[in-house]
Structure 1
Amino acid sequence: MAPTTLVLWDIDLTLVEMPGLGRQWYERAFIKAVGREMLHYPSTAGRTERAISMELLAAHGVDGSDAMLTGLFEALIATVAEDKSIAERGRALPGVKAALTALSTLPSVVQSLVTGNLPVIAGYKLAPFGLDVYLDMEIGGYGAMSAHRHDLVFDAMRNAAAKHGAPFAPTSVVVIGDTVHDVEAALHHGAIAIGVATGHTREADLRAAGAHATFPDLSDTAAVLAAVLPAGTAHVPRT
């Protein structure tokens, strides 16, 4: 059975949280790539690695060329690879593993990512909690390719269509995230937006941004599946 629903997950404060690690990684990577200390740390919520890095470089008067961005990305990847504290300092958020597991049993569903993270770092963040195994990470939309989050949704939709041999209708694409940026990126393409208030954005604000459904967290698996799957979809697990 070919999948008919594409579910695209955000990572940070949607699937996992790891307080303080992002800033520490950037501080170390900036020294490696630029050769001096980081004095300004941009807002990161819902933003892409390219947008964050471009602002970071500009704030320090550093040329934001592709070569410099690539150098900073490489330093960031190396920094995260060296960090052995992710499993200890981070955690999967409530209900995440149950929701991923339930959706993974349905042949009508394929799950991937729309995340501001770089692909390799996405793997480093998810693997310690056993979450990567539920996701086709090859077709995700990642933060190096654009400063605009809606471009990442388009990239994931295009990648999924190429792999599965047919486009996914926008109304069969579901984006799940914790920020208004996630909601707006989904709506830009006519996709379904689900907001989860496990980050710094209230449910009311996610609804006001246009989310089709919102949750305080993902602990109610049945309700999450009902929001993700089109009405009338048979919940038939793989055998």
Structure 2
Amino acid sequence: MLWNIDLTLLDVGQVTRVAYAEAFEKVTGEPLVYLTSAAGRTDSEMFFEFCARNYVDLEPDTETLAEFLAALETAFASRGDQLLAKGRALPGASASLAAVASMPDTLQTVVSGSTRVNATAKLVAFGLDTYLNLAVGGFGSVNYPKASLIQSIRLHASGEGGRAYTEEETVFIAGSVPDVRAALIGGATPIAVLSDSSTEGQLRDAGAQIVLPDLSDPRAVMTAVHQATTR
């Protein structure tokens, strides 16, 4: 059972945007004027697009990326006290995680565009890490798209759970069209949750057969997970 974090379980966008700007200027020497959509993207992918959109006069490489991710973790950590003040857990997130955790033979983790350190900080701040096995999660600390992270998680989870998890048993809950597409490419059934980034029609056109209005009804989330894994 895979969960997207940002705008699915919680929203700390204000803190994240300021941390992006600070880290980008520290590494490149240029201000981050033009942002890019974070939907379905990892921090590694976003950095290279930041460079292109902001006309940075350098050739981004793996070393520069590593510097940016380290600076981003530092910038984010320095604002840890702002997460609760400027962010929020989305309605039903905690209850839905608890409900799915009660389902038999279920291993829950995350597929996040954030680095492992930042993703963990977000979840811990709102007490959402309790029902998640973050040791097998997929994070933007590595320069791979989310579809590849999903494939990698399934391999790691098989060792953690003592058996192989098939594509039919793997579910990814997220709220954007790129995340739905990543699920299908990575070998997971998408369960979409409506968000400001995508309409229900767009999510269904992308391949989501199950679309929830939000996470406020944990029983509906459990039903969706059951439907997604018993087709």
TM-score, length-scaled by structure 2: 0.92
- Residue 30 of structure 2, aligned match among 33, 36, 58: 36
- 2-side partners of 1:200 and 1:158: how far apart? 30
Unpaired runs of 5+ residues, structure 2, are: none
1:178 Cα deviation (Å)?
0.6
1:43-192 equivalences in 2 (<5 Å): 43-59=37-53, 60-83=56-79, 84-192=81-189
The alpha carbon displacement at 1:73 in A equals 0.2
2:206 corresponds in structure 1 to 209
Cα deviation for residue 47 of structure 1 reads 0.8
Give, in whole Å, the separation in 2 of the partners of 1:70 and 1:202.
Answer: 35
Provide the rounded CA distance (Å) in 1 between the counterparts of 2:34 and 2:210. 35
Aligned-pair distance for 1:231?
7.9
- For residues 114 and 154 of structure 2, the distance between their equivalents in structure 1, rounded to whole angstroms, comes to 17
CA distance in 1, matches of 2:229, 2:167: 17
Query: In the alignment, is the contact (CA less than 8 A) between 2:10 and 2:90 conserved in 1?
Result: yes
**Number of residue equivalences:** 227
CA distance in 1, matches of 2:58, 2:174: 32
Residue identity in the other structure for 1:203: E
Residues 1:199 and 1:120: Cα distance change in structure 2 (over 3 Å):
farther
Asked whether the 8 Å contact 1:49–1:147 carries over to 2, the reply is no
Alignment check: 8 A CA contact 1:47 1:147 kept? no
When structure 1 is superposed on structure 2, of 173-182 and 37-46 the one drifting more is 37-46
Q: CA deviation at 1:222?
A: 1.1
Cα distance in structure 1, aligned partners of 2:85 and 2:47: 27
Q: What's the offset of the Cα at 1:56?
A: 1.4
Q: Partners in 1 of 2:159 and 2:27 — Cα distance?
A: 35
Which amino acid is 2:9 matched to?
L
SS of the residue corresponding to residue 43 of structure 1 reads coil
How far apart are residue 149 of structure 1 and its match? 1.8
**Percent identity among equivalent residues?**
36
